[in-house]
C-alpha cells in the first residue's frame, strides 16, 4: 500500500478523491488558490469545500467577481476605544442611548478576557454615517469618562 499523499490511482482513497472533481450539471467553478480543489455555484448558491482558511479566498473571488458593484455604496466611518477591566453589560445602557439618539449609527462592543497576554477589556465603538459617528463617539467618550474606567484609543497593552 502506498503512503499518505500518494498519486497512485489504484489506492481506494485516491479513487474517492476523484469524486471531488464531480459537479452538478450546469454548475460554475469557483477557483481555489489555497489547494486547487474548486468550489462551485448554481444560480446564486455557492458551495465551498474545506476549512474557513480554504473557503475565504473563494468567497472573496465570488464577491469581487459577481458583487463588486454593491461595495461602498455609501460612505461609512467607524471609531472605537478599549475600556479596561470594564464589564460589557455596564456599557449596554450607554450604547442603547447612542443608537436611540443617533439613528444613523450602530454601536458595537467586543469583550476580551485578556487573550494572548493583554489586559481584560471591552472594545466599544460606533459605525455609520461619518458626521453622526463623530458626534456619537464624542458622547461615548463622555460616558466612558463619566464612569471613570481606564481606556485607550489603541490596542490594549500587554
- Segment (H or E) for 111: strand 105-112
Instruction: Compute CA distances 13 → 1, 6, 17, 23, 49, whole Å.
Output: 11, 9, 6, 19, 17
The answer to pTM > 0.75 is no
User: Distance between CA atoms of 13 and 18, rounded to whole angstroms?
Assistant: 9
pLDDT digits (tens, 9 = 90+) for 97-145: 999 999 999 999 999 887 777 788 899 999 999 999 999 999 999 999 9
d(CA 123, CA 132): 19
Helix (H, G, I), strand (E, B) or coil at 140: helix
Amino acid at each position: 500500500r502506498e503512503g499518505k499523499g500518494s498519486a497512485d490511482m489504484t489506492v481506494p482513497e485516491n479513487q474517492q478523491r476523484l469524486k471531488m472533481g464531480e459537479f452538478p450539471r450546469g454548475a460554475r467553478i469557483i477557483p481555489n488558490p489555497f489547494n486547487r480543489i474548486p468550489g462551485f455555484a448554481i444560480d446564486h448558491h455557492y458551495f465551498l469545500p474545506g476549512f474557513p482558511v480554504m473557503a475565504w479566498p473563494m468567497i472573496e473571488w465570488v464577491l469581487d467577481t459577481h458583487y463588486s458593484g454593491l461595495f461602498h455604496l455609501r460612505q461609512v466611518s467607524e471609531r472605537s476605544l478599549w475600556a479596561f477591566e470594564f464589564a460589557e453589560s455596564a456599557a449596554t445602557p450607554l450604547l442603547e442611548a447612542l443608537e436611540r439618539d443617533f439613528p444613523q449609527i450602530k454601536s458595537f462592543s467586543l469583550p476580551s478576557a485578556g487573550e494572548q497576554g493583554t489586559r481584560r477589556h471591552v472594545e466599544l465603538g460606533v459605525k455609520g454615517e461619518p458626521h453622526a459617528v463623530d458626534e456619537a463617539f464624542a458622547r461615548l467618550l463622555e460616558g466612558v469618562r463619566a464612569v471613570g474606567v481606564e481606556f485607550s484609543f489603541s490596542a490594549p497593552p500587554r
